[in-house]
Structure 1
Amino acid sequence: MRNAVSITIISLFLGACASNDTVQVVDESLIEYKDISLKEQRELVKEYWIVEKRLDPKYPIEAARKGLSGCVDLIVGINKDGKTSGYKVKESYPKGVFDYHAAASLKSWRWSATEVNVDKTPVLTSIQLDFMVSGAKNAKEAKNKCGWNYKV
């Protein structure tokens, strides 16, 4: 009787091990992204992805009170689903003032693949978000640091 119970338990165990019901988990850190994050490559993203949904960042209240303008340059991952898959602040001026609000807005951006991007190639790209308030106390310095080409 003991042998029959042991054999039954072993059979059930081996049967469970041979089951075909497997779950595949994709580690997104292993996905290869095409790196087009250099400033001079910034426009290349348009060959792969088109912005479908863009949410402008909120202006930090404290920065507005202090009369600060600036920018945040982020390296952003766009995954195969057209969603932001991560970011890194490359540069910002004034440092740290607008970073959180820039990143928060990018998380809700959505892209659609271009006609030539049939494989929906994930990319790393550089996106600069500008924050401007009229009468900014740091207008000239912000223009120089952020590379703005218009009169402040």
Structure 2
Amino acid sequence: MKNVILITMLSLVLGACASSDTAQVVDEAPIKYKDLSLKDQRDLVKEYWVVEKRQEPKYPLAAAKKGLSGCVDLIVGINQDGKTSGYKVKNSYPKGVFDNHAAASLKKWKWSATEGNIDRTPVLTSIQLDFMVSGAKNAKEAKSKCGWDYKV
């Protein structure tokens, strides 16, 4: 008898927790981005958007202690409001060391539409953020992997 009462009580509690989803789904059209993410198209983004606010990434303490330099190349979406609308890590060296710090800084970037970008066309672009510490143990390899053309 106690089991029947317990099962009945549990059924009532669980039944009360169930709710019908009355939220209305807004049918938004997907954003159509102009893809400028290829390496030879990076500079074309300047025809559409200019960086208004740039947040430099924080250097990971563990990487600094180990004397590591590197880079993160990200594909970034710039929406019609001039804000970062998403990102994907395209490549990084050393893998995973600087990724989160690079992404966190890019989320804070803001862009202004150029005079020629009257429609505020959303774009995908590629941005590489470099992380350098003097006396890096991996300086030569970082220079090679990150494509740096300056002396390390």
Q: Please tell me the TM-score bracket, short chain as reference.
A: 0.7 to 0.9
The residue type paired with residue 92 of structure 1 is S
Query: Partners in 1 of 2:28 and 2:146 — Cα distance?
Result: 35
Following TM superposition, by how much is the alpha carbon of 1:145 offset from its aligned partner in structure 2, in angstroms? 0.3
> How do 1:2-151 and structure 2 match up within 5 A?
25=26, 27=28, 30-151=30-151
Following TM superposition, by how much is the alpha carbon of 1:26 offset from its aligned partner in structure 2, in angstroms? 6.1
Query: Partners in 2 of 1:71 and 1:26 — Cα distance?
Result: 38
Percent sequence identity over aligned pairs: 80
Structure 1: 5+ residue runs without aligned partners? Answer: 1-22
Task: Give the TM-score taking structure 1 as reference length.
Answer: 0.82
> How many pairs align?
129
SS at match of 2:62: helix
Task: Give the TM-score taking structure 2 as reference length.
Answer: 0.82
Distance change (3 Å), C-alpha of 1:24 and 1:49: farther
Distance change (3 Å), C-alpha of 1:27 and 1:68: farther
The residue type paired with residue 109 of structure 2 is W
RMSD of aligned alpha carbons: 1.4
Distance change (3 Å), C-alpha of 1:103 and 1:26: farther
